[in-house]
Structure 1
Amino acid sequence: MAMKRSRTWPILTVIIAVLVIVIALPQNKRTFVPSFLQSAKLHYGLDLVGGTQLDFRISEREMREQVESLKQQIEDLERQDAAPDRIAGLRAQMLAIEDQQRGIVEAIRTVLERRINALGVSEAVITPSYIGNEKHLLVECPGVVDTQECINTVGKTIKLEFKEEYTEASEEYDAEVRESAAKAIGRIQAGETLAVVGEDLSDELGMGFENEREYFYDELHTGLEKLWKMDTTTGVQKIEGSLSVPERNSEGQISFREVPGIFLAEVIKPREKKARVIISPPLALEHLADTEEGATYQMNENVTLAEDNSIQNTLLEMNIGDIEPVSVNDSESQILFLESRTEGNEVMEASHILIAFEGALSADESVTRTAGEALALAKELKIRIDGGESFADLAKEYSDGPSSVEGGSLGEFGRGTMVPDFEAVSFKLAEGEVSDPTETQFGYHLILSDRAPDKKPDLVTYDALTITGERSFERADTLAEAVEGHKIQREEDAITLRMLFFSLLPTGWKDTTLDGKHFRSATVTLDPTTNLPVVQITFDAEGGELFYELTKKNVGKRIAIFVGGDLVSAPTVQTEIPGGIAVITGSQNFEEAKNLAVDLNTGAIPAPIYLAGQHTVEATLGAQALKTSMKAALIGIAILMLFMILIYRLMGLLADLALCVYAIIFLAFLKVPLFLFSGQFIVLTLAGMAGIILSIGMAVDANILIFERVKEELRKGKLFQTAVDTGFQKAWPSIRDGNVSTFITCVVLFSVGTSIVRGFAATLGMGVLISMFSAIIVTRWLFGRIANSPLSHNMKLFGVKVAKEEVVENV
Structure 2
Amino acid sequence: MKKNNSIKLLLIGIFALGIFYFDLPASIQAKINPFITVDETTETSSKNQIKLGLDLQGGSQLDYKIDLRLVPEEDHDNIIQGVLEVIERRVNSLGINEPNIYTSEVGGETHIIVELVESGQVSKADISQYLRSDKTVNELTEDERKTISLEKAKATVGKTIQLEFKEQKSPDELNQGNEAQAAEIRTGLQESLQKILDGQTFQTIAQEEQQANPGKAVYLKGDFVYKDEIGSTGIQDTIDELEIGSTYGEIIDTTLGISQDESGQMVVNEGIQIYRLLDKKEEVRHERAVSVSHILISYQGAERATASVTRTQEEAQTLANEVLQKIQNQESSFADLAEEFSDDESNSDLGGVLERPVTNDGSYTFDFESAAMSLSEVGDISDVVEIGFGYHIIKADKIETDVIENKYQIETLTFSTSPDPWKATSLTGKHFKNAQVLLDTTTYRPVVEIQFNSEGAALFEELTKNNVNKPIAIFVGGELISAPIVNQTISGGIATITGNFTQTEAQNLARDLNTGAIPAPIILTGEYTIGASIGQAALHQSVVAGAIGFALVIIFMLAYYRMAGFIAAISLSLYTGIFIFLIKSSLPTYLAIIIAVIILVMLLGRISKNDESGADSIISIIFSIVAFFLFTNLLTSNIVITLAGTAGIILSIGMAVDANILIFERFKEELRNGRKFEEAVNEGFNRAWNAIRDSNFSTLIVCGILYYFGTSIVRGFAFTLAAGILISMFTAITITRALMMGFVGKKIAENQRLFGVKIEKKPKKEINFLKHSRKYVAVSGALIIISIFAGIIFRFTPGIDFTGGSLMEVTIKQESATREDIYANLLKTQELINTNGIPQSTLEVEAETSNNNIDENETETTIATPNDDQIITDENIAVDFTNAQVVESGENGFIIKTGYIDEQTHAYVLQNLRDQYPELKETRFTSIGPTVGKSLLGKAVIAVIVALAMMAIYIRFAFRALPKTVSTWKFGGSAIIALFQNIIITLGVFIILGIFINIEINALFITAMLTVMAYSINDTIVIFDKIRENLLEKPSGNLEEIANKAINQTLARSLNTSISTLIVLIAILIFGSPSIFFFVLAMTIGIAVGTYSSLFIAPPVLVWWHKKSRR
Report the TM-score when normalising by structure 1. 0.51
Cα distance, 1:41 vs structure 2? 1.8
Please say if 1:656 is aligned against 2:641.
no
Alpha-carbon distance change, 103 to 750 in structure 1, aligned in 2, over 3 angstroms? farther
Cα distance, 1:648 vs structure 2? 0.9
Name the SS of the counterpart of 1:765 in structure 2.
helix
Alpha-carbon distance change, 316 to 57 in structure 1, aligned in 2, over 3 angstroms? same
Q: Which residue of 2 aligns with 1:509?
A: 423
Please say if 1:669 is aligned against 2:587.
no
**Does the 8 Å contact 2:296/2:342 carry over to 1?**
no
Query: Which of 724, 727, 735 is equivalent to 1:778?
Result: 735
1:407-439 CA distance string (max 9 Å, x none): xxxxxxxxxxxxxxxxxxxxxxxxxxxxxxxxx
Query: Which of 185, 210, 217 is equivalent to 1:208?
Result: 217
Query: Which of 724, 733, 756 is equivalent to 1:799?
Result: 756
Paired letter, 2:304: N
Query: Which of 146, 162, 176 is equivalent to 2:165?
Result: 162
Please say if 1:704 is aligned against 2:698.
no
Please say if 1:42 is aligned against 2:46.
no
Distance in 2 of aligned mates of 1:719 and 1:132: 60
Distance in 1 of aligned mates of 2:653 and 2:87: 35
Alpha-carbon distance change, 141 to 472 in structure 1, aligned in 2, over 3 angstroms? closer
1:279-325 CA distance string (max 9 Å, x none): xxxxxxxx97xx747x4467x9xxxxxxxxx655699956399xxxx
Alpha-carbon distance change, 669 to 580 in structure 1, aligned in 2, over 3 angstroms? same
Please say if 1:550 is aligned against 2:550.
no
| Larger RCO: 1 or 2 (CA < 8 Å, sep 6+) | 1
Name the SS of the counterpart of 2:406 in structure 1.
strand
**Does the 8 Å contact 1:705/1:731 carry over to 2?**
yes
Larger radius of gyration between Structure 1 and Structure 2 = 1
Distance in 2 of aligned mates of 1:492 and 1:540: 55
**Does the 8 Å contact 1:127/1:754 carry over to 2?**
no
Distance in 1 of aligned mates of 2:747 and 2:669: 20
Distance in 2 of aligned mates of 1:103 and 1:608: 14
Query: Which of 7, 14, 21 is equivalent to 1:25?
Result: 21
Paired letter, 2:759: V
Name the SS of the counterpart of 1:25 in structure 2.
helix
Q: Which residue of 2 aligns with 1:319?
A: 304
**Does the 8 Å contact 2:209/2:217 carry over to 1?**
no
Alpha-carbon distance change, 596 to 511 in structure 1, aligned in 2, over 3 angstroms? farther
Name the SS of the counterpart of 2:757 in structure 1.
coil
Cα distance, 1:640 vs structure 2? 2.4
Cα distance, 1:212 vs structure 2? 4.6
Cα distance, 1:699 vs structure 2? 0.8
- Structure 1: segments with no counterpart, 5+ residues: 68-94, 182-192, 232-236, 277-286, 301-309, 334-341, 345-454, 481-487, 524-534, 585-589
Distance in 2 of aligned mates of 1:41 and 1:252: 46
Distance in 2 of aligned mates of 1:199 and 1:736: 65
Distance in 2 of aligned mates of 1:131 and 1:38: 38
Distance in 2 of aligned mates of 1:102 and 1:240: 51
Aligned pairs for 1:471-490 (under 5 A) are: 474=370, 476=372, 490=405
Name the SS of the counterpart of 1:801 in structure 2.
coil
**Does the 8 Å contact 1:54/1:613 carry over to 2?**
yes
**Does the 8 Å contact 2:471/2:486 carry over to 1?**
yes
Distance in 2 of aligned mates of 1:37 and 1:318: 51
Aligned pairs for 1:728-739 (under 5 A) are: 735-736=692-693, 738-739=695-696
Distance in 2 of aligned mates of 1:136 and 1:226: 48
Distance in 1 of aligned mates of 2:205 and 2:427: 27
Cα distance, 1:754 vs structure 2? 4.1
Cα distance, 1:649 vs structure 2? 0.7
Paired letter, 2:727: I
Name the SS of the counterpart of 1:666 in structure 2.
helix
Paired letter, 1:665: I
Q: Which residue of 1 aligns with 2:700?
A: 743
Distance in 1 of aligned mates of 2:108 and 2:409: 33
Alpha-carbon distance change, 550 to 312 in structure 1, aligned in 2, over 3 angstroms? same
Name the SS of the counterpart of 2:562 in structure 1.
helix
Q: Which residue of 1 aligns with 2:717?
A: 760
Name the SS of the counterpart of 2:726 in structure 1.
helix
Cα distance, 1:697 vs structure 2? 1.3
Q: Which residue of 2 aligns with 1:538?
A: 448
Report the TM-score when normalising by structure 2. 0.39
**Does the 8 Å contact 2:224/2:407 carry over to 1?**
no
Name the SS of the counterpart of 2:304 in structure 1.
coil
Name the SS of the counterpart of 2:489 in structure 1.
coil
Alpha-carbon distance change, 741 to 109 in structure 1, aligned in 2, over 3 angstroms? farther
Alpha-carbon distance change, 478 to 15 in structure 1, aligned in 2, over 3 angstroms? farther
Specify which structure has the higher proportion of strand: 1
Q: Which residue of 2 aligns with 1:139?
A: 115
Distance in 1 of aligned mates of 2:7 and 2:206: 63
**Does the 8 Å contact 1:691/1:760 carry over to 2?**
yes
Aligned pairs for 1:233-272 (under 5 A) are: 244=253, 271=279
Distance in 2 of aligned mates of 1:708 and 1:116: 56
Deviates more, 1:555-564 or 1:741-750: 555-564
Cα distance, 1:690 vs structure 2? 3.0
**Does the 8 Å contact 1:198/1:500 carry over to 2?**
no
Alpha-carbon distance change, 517 to 53 in structure 1, aligned in 2, over 3 angstroms? farther
1:506-545 CA distance string (max 9 Å, x none): 997224446698566799xxxxxxxxxxx99733455997
Distance in 1 of aligned mates of 2:96 and 2:19: 22
Cα distance, 1:701 vs structure 2? 3.0
**Does the 8 Å contact 2:8/2:738 carry over to 1?**
no
**Does the 8 Å contact 1:198/1:211 carry over to 2?**
no
1:691-729 CA distance string (max 9 Å, x none): 222211111133234434544554555554565566556
Distance in 1 of aligned mates of 2:14 and 2:163: 53
Aligned pairs for 1:516-527 (under 5 A) are: none
- Structure 2: segments with no counterpart, 5+ residues: 121-141, 193-202, 307-319, 329-337, 360-366, 376-384, 386-402, 440-444, 588-629, 765-1111
Name the SS of the counterpart of 1:800 in structure 2.
coil
Aligned pairs for 1:683-702 (under 5 A) are: 683-702=640-659
Paired letter, 2:405: R
Cα distance, 1:770 vs structure 2? 1.1
Cα distance, 1:667 vs structure 2? 2.9
Q: Which residue of 1 aligns with 2:489?
A: 576
Paired letter, 2:754: L
Name the SS of the counterpart of 1:786 in structure 2.
coil
Alpha-carbon distance change, 160 to 699 in structure 1, aligned in 2, over 3 angstroms? same
**Does the 8 Å contact 1:509/1:560 carry over to 2?**
no
Q: Which residue of 1 aligns with 2:478?
A: 565
Alpha-carbon distance change, 785 to 460 in structure 1, aligned in 2, over 3 angstroms? closer
Specify which structure has the higher proportion of helix: 2
Aligned pairs for 1:112-127 (under 5 A) are: 124=100, 126=102
Paired letter, 1:43: I
Distance in 2 of aligned mates of 1:20 and 1:114: 43
Paired letter, 2:21: L
Alpha-carbon distance change, 568 to 679 in structure 1, aligned in 2, over 3 angstroms? same
1:315-336 CA distance string (max 9 Å, x none): 9956399xxxx99999x99xxx
Cα distance, 1:763 vs structure 2? 1.5
Name the SS of the counterpart of 1:660 in structure 2.
helix
**Does the 8 Å contact 1:126/1:137 carry over to 2?**
yes
**Does the 8 Å contact 2:59/2:117 carry over to 1?**
yes
